[in-house]
Amino acid sequence: MQAWAVTKSSWWDSWISSLDERTQDEAIMLRKQLRQLGVEHPDEWVRSEISENQAQVARYRLLRGLWSAEINSWRDKVDTWIANTRRELNRRPTGPFSDGGKALLRLVDELGATQEEIGALARMIAYETVFGVLYQLDDSDITEDDITIPVDLLNELPSWALIEVRGEDGEPTGRTIQGLHESLLSMDPSGRDGRPATRSE
């Protein structure tokens, strides 16, 4: 373990000493910021941001935020959204997605599914949904399933890209953020890549 730490430290020291003073200051600032965000080993993120001109801090913030707000929340707040679903069905029994709400309550009320089981299922579906959206962000050639678009028109249509911005005014940096779906699973805050906790944890 000590040898590993020395190797990593030596790698960082050697790399940062090869940079000019201004870039060194930027690298040290990025390292500090990533540690404040909870990154245990930020050195590779910093090197990629500096040497490869990748928007890694923005990438990290987005992916970890998605895990917290859009994936784990379905497990951690399962009692809240089940109660909300029950209340909404009572208010609007034929409202949007009411069939899903009825299926959910049948699982809970009639089939005895526990909140833990429902939360695990919802979390898995949320992960797959987030993964699919991130994948489509990179695939600017997708077409609507119910519309046949001629190739010549497709080439003229507007597309999309996720870009990095800075400051209160959201000034674009010119760097795109790509391949987010490739890193989503590894950004699980638990470090278990989506796997359930073991009894010892």
pLDDT one-digit tens code per residue, 83-107: 999 999 999 999 999 999 999 999 9
In contact, 75 and 120? CB cutoff 8 Å: yes
Q: In this structure, are residues 131 and 124 in contact, taking their beta carbons and an 8 Å threshold?
A: no
User: Quick one: pLDDT at residue 151?
Assistant: 77
Residues of the chain scoring pLDDT < 50: 1-7
Identify the pLDDT of residue 5: 42
**Helices 78-91 and 115-138, interaxial angle, to 10°?**
90
Burial (CB < 10 A; 0-12, 13-18, 19+), residue 83, is: exposed
* Residues 173, 162 contacting (CB under 8 angstroms): no
The pLDDT score that the predictor gives to residue 2 is 39
Report whether 50 contacts 34 (CB < 8 A). no
Residue corresponding to tokens 């009411």: 98
CA distances to 94, 110, 127, 138, 141 from 57, in Å: 44, 46, 21, 19, 27
* The Cα angle at residue 131 between residues 36 and 111, in degrees rounded to 5: 105
